[in-house]
Every structure is written in structure tokens, then in C-alpha cells.
Amino acid sequence: MSGHLAVIGLGPGDARYLTPEANAALKHAEVLYGYARYLERTPLREGQARHASDNREEGARAVAALREAALGARVGIVSGGDPGVFAMAAAVCEEIERGPERFRALDVTIVPGVTAMLAVAARIGAPLGHDFCALSLSDNLKRRDVIERRLDAAAGAGFVIALYNPVSQSRPWQLGAAFDRLRRHLPASTPVVFGRAVGRADETVTVTTIDCAGSAHADMATLVIVGSRETRLVERPGRAPLVYTPRSVVEVSA
Amino acid sequence: MSGHLAVIGLGPGDARYLTPEANAALKHAEVLYGYARYLERTPLREGQARHASDNREEGARAVAALREAALGARVGIVSGGDPGVFAMAAAVCEEIERGPERFRALDVTIVPGVTAMLAVAARIGAPLGHDFCALSLSDNLKRRDVIERRLDAAAGAGFVIALYNPVSQSRPWQLGAAFDRLRRHLPASTPVVFGRAVGRADETVTVTTIDCAGSAHADMATLVIVGSRETRLVERPGRAPLVYTPRSVVEVSA
């Protein structure tokens, strides 16, 4: 008997982002694993077991889910946003690679979802309308000089930058350091978007410029988008401005 | 009276990726605009007008939709994948900026969706599991030296690269030139994923290495993911291999 593991993307917060495929995967799971806050979002089903764990225990959660699936169960792991973007899908692949042979025999499905940067971008216009990159500022798993080199490369070459995990309690200073780094490459007026808890009842989206952006604008629930030299702001009377990056590049950025 | 314009992300192909928010926006529109192939995917509703146009006419389509919304109608523009990623949302923002004042008074909603790179990544593992960028190879709207500079910057700094619009009839050679460029930065064994028509009945996903990758692997419906130095391939007996990028960076890429 072979079990099944689904890694399920819930999208950002609200049920209106949950795809029919993700909804079906949640229904079919006999057991669900996940960060407690994500499990709270999924409707309870009779007879479905749930194992909540801390946000930082991704590897241990993946192993527990893989073991239960290898015993023949239909197991689901829930993930906020898209499971393939700084989330559970990579943790599951890591444990399959380093785990016992029976993990490789498992039927594994990854169910994509709307990742945070897409939801934040949709709220404000189209800041990701041209070439962009997604970069995690967490230095738990990556040396700080790698982060700095990637910020330099991305901003220098004209990519818009979506920053995931911009701050944490242990590194409140890090986002400010990233903005300092980016100011070397970008004009002072470059738009910066802070999307907090997007898709939830308490969502806020604010726009500022790179010369005014600081770490006080963000917390752990924030996704930051830093524009490129091409990114534009369109004022609208009586409405929030639009921020967008045109489809065509008119100049070669310096 | 003020009209409304919704730019609606359909996700990749199949209805199982259509979010409840997108579904509701499709229902509420009195008029739908879009590329003919995307309109075909959306269920017909009684009394709903439809205006199909060619894939290359994004600006004209945006203007037509904005004009109709400014007359007071509830208008929808459909977009494959996510409308904010190389798609209609930026075209709409461009026309709002350059258009008459009444375009700025409009209520505009952008409905995010699952973009192609997330769907392709989900099929094969977690190649976007760490820092990555999304880059369009279309040179209609961008000079070729900008594309080359961005390929160099992204691969050199260790980003995984998702290539949108990898080939077209007018530039069948361009993807091959991009691979040549990337081979300067990446080991020969770096995994490359080709996802064609993902989410549709005729979907195919193939994996090769950067030394074997060529433009013959792709057509206009293909999304290409080029790994970084950290991206790994896990063979599985009797199953397709997994391709993933670990969450931690162990070495500084050259």
C-alpha cells in the first residue's frame, strides 16, 4: 500500500483565494499538518486529524507528514500562499532526498496557490508588470553577504524586487540595511510598496519612496515590493495611487 | 455614474485553478474583453457581451475596456495566469496614465491568479524554493542587451530564473541564445525544466540540464525554469524525478 502526500497552497488569507484544486485536496486529506495559524484557516472536517506546529519547524513537520503518508495515509501539509515560494514544498523535497527509500516511493502532489507578492501587487496596480525577482531576507538559512550580493545584482540590472520575510524579532534591523543597500542603485523617488496581511480583514497597503522607506513600515506579516527605475506612480483624485512597471523598457538602467 | 473595470486572472488553463474571487468577477461582468483563447475558457453567461482580440493587441484592448467602463458598465478583462505578471494589468495602468482624466476616476480591481511559473514548479517539486526571478525573453518591448544583462546578473548572483515568452515565430533563436549566455555562469548539470500547457489536457513537463537545453524544447505555450547552482534533482524509482532548490544556501555561488 502506498500513501499520498499533498502540499497545499492556501493563498493569502481569505477563502476567496483558495483554488478548487486546493479545496479538494483539503477535503480528501485524512490528516493535516501545518503551522497553527494556517490550519485555523481551513474548515474542520469530521474525522480529519490535525497536527499543528510552530512556524520554524518546517523540516520536522515534513518528516512527520512523510512518515504518516508512507504508512498508507492520505496526508496534507498546508502552506500559506504558494507552497513552492519560500515555503513547505522545498522542505518536503529536502526530506525526501535525505530520508529513507520509502519516501521516494510516495505519491506526492504539490498544489500551487496565489503567493503573497501577486496579491500585494494586485492591490496597488502592476508593480511586477515587468522583470522582477523574489528574495527572502531571512538570514537563518543564508549568509548575509549572499543577500547583499543578490540585492546589488537585482537592483543594478533593473529587476523589481519582492522581499519575503523582511523582518523578524531576531533581526529588526535587516530590512533597513537592505533599503540602505538598494539606495545605492535606485533614484530617491523609486516607489516602495508595503503590503501587510493582504487578503485578511486587517489588510493594509502603503506606498512610499526608497528614500523614506524604513524597517518601521514592516512586520513579519508584511511583503515589500521595491520598484525599479522604470516603476511609475499614477496619482488618482479620490483614490489610492496606482504603482506599475511598464511592459517596455525605454532606457538601460545604470 | 462611475463604471468598474476588473482585470481577472484565470490561472493556468483549467478551472481547478480559478479562484472564487476570479469566478465571482467573471459572473459580475456585463462585458468581457480578452484574448480569444482565454475567453473560450470562461463559461458563457446570458446577456454578457464578449470582445475577443488578438494576443498582441493589449494596449488597444485596455483602452476599449476602459472606455466602456467609463460609460458606466461593469467590464472585465480576462488574463491567463496572473494579470500582474507580463500580462494585462500593466497594460491597463499604462492606458490609465496616458488616457483622459475619466480613466483615473474609475474603480479598478485586479484579481490575482496562479501564474505559470508556480504551476510548472508545483508539477516537478520546488525549483523556486529559494530566491528566484521572472524574466520575459520577448524583445518586442525591450532591447536585447537589457535581456542579456539581466540574464548575467540573475545567474551570476545565484537566482533561479523563470523565463516567460521564451520563443515566438519571429524569434525562434532567442531561447538558444539565452541558454548560451547562462552556460557561462552555470555548471553543465544545472537542471532546466520545460513546462508546456501546464494545467491543460495536453500538458507536458520535461527536465534536462543546461548543457543539453535548446530552443527545440519550447514553443509559445512553454514556461522555462533554469536552476541555480544550488538546484538539485532527486531520482525516484518508477516516478518522475523531483527538482528543487533548498531553502538554505551552503556556498556563495561564483
A252 lies in some domain:
no
Instruction: Using an 8 Å CB-CB cutoff, list chain A residues near B112.
Output: 17, 114, 118-119, 121-122
Q: Min CA distance, B209 vs chain A (Å)?
A: 19
If we measure between CA atoms, which residue out of B249, B220, B134, B227 comes closest to residue B179?
B227
The pLDDT tens digits along chain B (254 residues) read 568 999 999 999 888 999 999 999 999 999 999 999 899 888 888 899 999 987 778 999 999 999 999 999 999 999 999 999 999 999 999 999 999 999 999 999 999 999 999 999 999 999 999 999 999 998 777 888 999 999 999 999 999 999 999 998 888 888 999 999 999 999 999 999 999 999 888 999 999 999 999 998 899 899 999 999 999 999 999 999 999 999 987 654 44
Distance CA A167, CA B136 (A): 30
If we measure between CA atoms, which residue out of A10, A225, A19, A3 comes closest to residue A123?
A225
Query: Roughly what angle, to the nearest 10 degrees, separates helices A58-70 and A88-98?
Result: 60
Domain tally, chain A: 2
B42 lies in some domain:
yes
- pLDDT tens digits, one per residue of A65-117: 999 999 999 999 999 999 999 999 999 999 999 999 999 999 999 999 999 99
A144 interfacial to chain B (CB closer than 8 Å): no
A136 interfacial to chain B (CB closer than 8 Å): yes
B157 lies in some domain:
yes
Mark whether A212 and A177 lie in a shared domain: yes
Stretches where chain A sits below pLDDT 50 are 252-254
B213 lies in some domain:
yes
pLDDT of residue A254: 43
Mark whether B79 and B143 lie in a shared domain: no
A166 lies in some domain:
yes
Tell which of B114, B129, B159 closes a domain.
Answer: B114
Mark whether A100 and A141 lie in a shared domain: no
If we measure between CA atoms, which residue out of B204, B206, B198, B248 comes closest to residue B228?
B248
A253 lies in some domain:
no
Q: Min CA distance, A28 vs chain B (Å)?
A: 15
B240 interfacial to chain A (CB closer than 8 Å): no
Instruction: Judge residue A1's burial from the number of C-beta atoms within 10 Å of its C-beta, 0-12 exposed, 13-18 middle, 19 or more buried.
Output: exposed
What does the block give as the cell for B117?
Answer: 511559473
Mark whether A153 and A195 lie in a shared domain: yes
B139 interfacial to chain A (CB closer than 8 Å): no
Mark whether A167 and A58 lie in a shared domain: no
B249 lies in some domain:
no
Q: Following CA atoms A49, A55, A59, A65 in sequence, which dihedral angle do they give, to the nearest 10 degrees?
A: 10
Mark whether B11 and B23 lie in a shared domain: yes
For residue A159, what are the contacts with CB-CB under 8 A and spacing of at least 6?
A: A131, A132, A133, A228, B133, B150, B153, B154
Mark whether B137 and B238 lie in a shared domain: yes
Residue B128, domain CATH:
3.30.950.10
Distance CA A53, CA A188 (A): 42
Residue B147 has φ and ψ, to the nearest 5°, of -60, -45
Distance CA B101, CA B6 (A): 19
Tell which of A72, A89, A114 closes a domain.
Answer: A114
Q: Flag if B121 and A112 touch (Cβ within 8 Å).
A: yes
Q: Min CA distance, B114 vs chain A (Å)?
A: 5
CB A131 within 8 A of CB B117: no
Mark whether A13 and A71 lie in a shared domain: yes
Mark whether A198 and A136 lie in a shared domain: yes
A164 interfacial to chain B (CB closer than 8 Å): no
Tell which of A80, A114, A148 closes a domain.
Answer: A114
Domain that holds residue B86: 4-114
A residues 14-43 closer than 8 Å to B (CB): 15-21, 24
**Nearest chain A residue to B111, by CA:** A122
Mark whether B181 and B110 lie in a shared domain: no
Mark whether B174 and B231 lie in a shared domain: yes
Q: Flag if A234 and B93 touch (Cβ within 8 Å).
A: yes
Give Cα separations from A69 to A33, A44, A76 (angstroms).
11, 20, 9
pLDDT of residue B251: 55
Instruction: Using an 8 Å CB-CB cutoff, list chain B residues near A230.
Output: none
Distance CA A38, CA A79 (A): 7
A94 interfacial to chain B (CB closer than 8 Å): yes
Strand order across the beta sheet in which A232-236 lies = A125-126, A239-244, A232-236
A77 interfacial to chain B (CB closer than 8 Å): no
Mark whether B156 and B194 lie in a shared domain: yes
Residue A84 identity (one-letter amino acid): G
pLDDT of residue A128: 98
What does the block give as the cell for A87?
Answer: 515555503
State which H helix or E strand residue A61 sits in: helix A58-70
B220 lies in some domain:
yes
Q: Residue B113 half-sphere exposure, CB side, CA atoms within 13 Å?
A: 35
Instruction: Using an 8 Å CB-CB cutoff, list chain A residues near B110.
Output: 121-123, 125-126
CB B55 within 8 A of CB B168: no
Bridge partners (DSSP) of residue A239 are A236
Residue A216 has φ and ψ, to the nearest 5°, of -65, -20
Distance CA A96, CA A245 (A): 39
